[in-house]
Amino acid sequence: MNTMAIFVLATARESIANFLNALLIVYLILIFAYIITSLIFSFGGRIPYSKWSSAVLGFLRDVCEPYLSIFRRFIPPIGPVDVSPIVAILVLQFVGFFIINLIHG
């Protein structure tokens, strides 16, 4: 392989790793937003019959709940506190950064 091909391959790997890193950060922000809005809405902070609050909560639920439900099956709530999102965030960060480091090289 010549030097130009190696440079292009390295640039492509770096671009893929950067994209996956950005995707990981966005998904973590969405999970945090889902947790915060769920808490706010559960304490009565939701405007009744509001289309935008229903749309926001529905979107966040549709995006985050499939991943979080994996951990809710194995980790029961401790009283009123659900610790499964914390474990899910930690696992996502560790696995995500491990994969990103493997791709980045």
**Dihedral sign for Cα atoms in the order 74, 36, 60, 32:** negative
What does the pLDDT read at residue 48? Answer: 67
Decide which of 46 and 39 is more confident: 39
What does the pLDDT read at residue 62? Answer: 95
Of all residues in the chain, what percent carry a pLDDT higher than 70?
A: 86
Q: pLDDT-based confidence at 103, cuts 50/70/90?
A: confident
Helix 51-74 to helix 84-104 angle, to the nearest 10 degrees?
80
- CA dihedral 17→19→23→24, nearest 10 degrees, is 20
Q: Read off the pLDDT of residues 56-77 as tens digits, 9 standing for 90 and up.
A: 888 999 999 999 999 989 888 8
* Length of the chain as a residue count: 105
